Structure 1
Amino acid sequence: MSALSPDPAPAGAREVVVALTKAGRTKIRYPAELVRDDGVRVTVRAAWAAPGVRDFGFVRFEPGDVFTEHYWRDRWFAVKEVRGGDGVLKGWYCDIARPAVLAGGVLTVEDLDLDLWVSADGASVLRLDEDEFADSGLAGRDPAAAGAAVAALDELDRLARAEGLAALLA
């Protein structure tokens, strides 16, 4: 199986586990419904998996929220459409991450600290956690990965400001 081929899940299998890692440790694992896997992009849907409410100031993630998450095997980011329990779009939370790997029903994604938030109306595009990224030491340990991460953040920022993320997710 190549890195770009769909995971050979049993026929009818619709559930995967998303494993988000950071600096070699698992941050969170949660079940998700497999929506689509075309060999390059994997799309899953999951309920807000962290305990309680997370208020970032510009958005609140809370129980009842639904995330439609798009992961690529050939790109250094993930885009998560966030909707409240009432179905209203809150916006898109984008993680800069190494290309995703789906194997054995587990979708593994390595978070590289950088994030981007795009409000539902597209009027607000926020680059997040650039200080955490600088402090992570990735640039010293793996300059190529650090360069790919910064390029991915720049690409998403440009797409969000120029045409929105809908074209990327179509």
Structure 2
Amino acid sequence: MSDGNATLKPGTTINVRLLKAPRPDVEYPAEVRYDDGEHVVVVAPWFGDAPRDMGFAVFEPGDIWTEHYWRSRWYSIKEVRTGTGKIKGWYCDVTRPTVVFADSADSPRLEVADLDLDLWLSCDHTQILRLDEDEFEDSGLREREPETAGQAEASLDELEAMAHCGGFAAVLAW
């Protein structure tokens, strides 16, 4: 079952489930690289089967995502590289803290509820973009769960501050 504290063994294949309500959830396999009970690192190929032009970057088959999740932080950070290893940038999702289901009857999985706010940091650190703030406003979260909405906005501010101060190296170390 899930206690959020179970650790995942490096080399294990898990399912990552991004809860996107009211939109359909996104689920894909990933390989665990690290888990200390707080910080989980997984690696996965881009889950799409066609390129997706985001306006600031194109995500495409063959891209490799090194994804960092935390059981107590309200965000995840995903380093995006081409299949040849060239870094594209970092895509950050503001989320509820990660929950790990290590003893699932199916394969182990990691679940994280997306709160609609995102941040992009380009590989050369010249582009720092706050994304989907309109979706966040339209979600009604501020009215339904004002404390959660405040935490989400504070997390986006924290990510932006890190991006302006040289990036995410300090939190991504493992």
TM-score by length of 2: 0.91
Show the counterpart of 1:98.
96
Which amino acid in the other structure matches residue 72 of structure 2?
Answer: D
C-alpha contact (below 8 Å) 1:6/1:37 kept by paired residues: no
Are 1:145 and 2:166 counterparts?
no
Distance 2:10 2:127 in 1: 39
Superposition deviation, residue 6 in structure 1: 3.0
C-alpha contact (below 8 Å) 1:19/1:108 kept by paired residues: yes
Distance 1:148 1:106 in 2: 25
- Provide, for residues 74-130 of structure 1, a one-character-per-residue CA deviation record: whole Å limited to 9, x for no partner: 000000000001110000000000000011311001001000000011111000000
Unaligned runs of 5+ in 1: none
**For 2:89, what is the secondary structure of its paired residue?**
strand
Alpha-carbon distance change, 12 to 33 in structure 1, aligned in 2, over 3 angstroms: closer
Which amino acid in the other structure matches residue 108 of structure 1?
Answer: E
| 1:73 equivalent among 63, 71, 74 | 71
List, as ranges, runs of 4+ consecutive aligned residues in structure 1 with deviation greater than 4 Å. 1-4
Show the counterpart of 1:58.
56
Superposition deviation, residue 28 in structure 1: 1.0
Distance 1:14 1:33 in 2: 6
Q: Which moved more, 1:63-72 or 1:24-33?
A: 24-33
Aligned ranges for residues 14-163 of structure 1 at < 5 Å? 14-23=12-21, 26-103=24-101, 104=104, 105-163=108-166
C-alpha contact (below 8 Å) 2:95/2:112 kept by paired residues: yes
Unaligned runs of 5+ in 2: none
C-alpha contact (below 8 Å) 1:16/1:107 kept by paired residues: yes
Aligned-pair Cα RMSD in Å? 1.8
Aligned length: 168
C-alpha contact (below 8 Å) 1:3/1:73 kept by paired residues: no
Distance 1:50 1:95 in 2: 17
C-alpha contact (below 8 Å) 1:6/1:38 kept by paired residues: no
Which amino acid in the other structure matches residue 139 of structure 1?
Answer: R
C-alpha contact (below 8 Å) 1:20/1:26 kept by paired residues: no
Which amino acid in the other structure matches residue 128 of structure 1?
Answer: L
Which amino acid in the other structure matches residue 97 of structure 1?
Answer: T
TM-score by length of 1: 0.93
Superposition deviation, residue 150 in structure 1: 0.3
**For 1:122, what is the secondary structure of its paired residue?**
coil
Alpha-carbon distance change, 161 to 15 in structure 1, aligned in 2, over 3 angstroms: same
**For 2:18, what is the secondary structure of its paired residue?**
strand
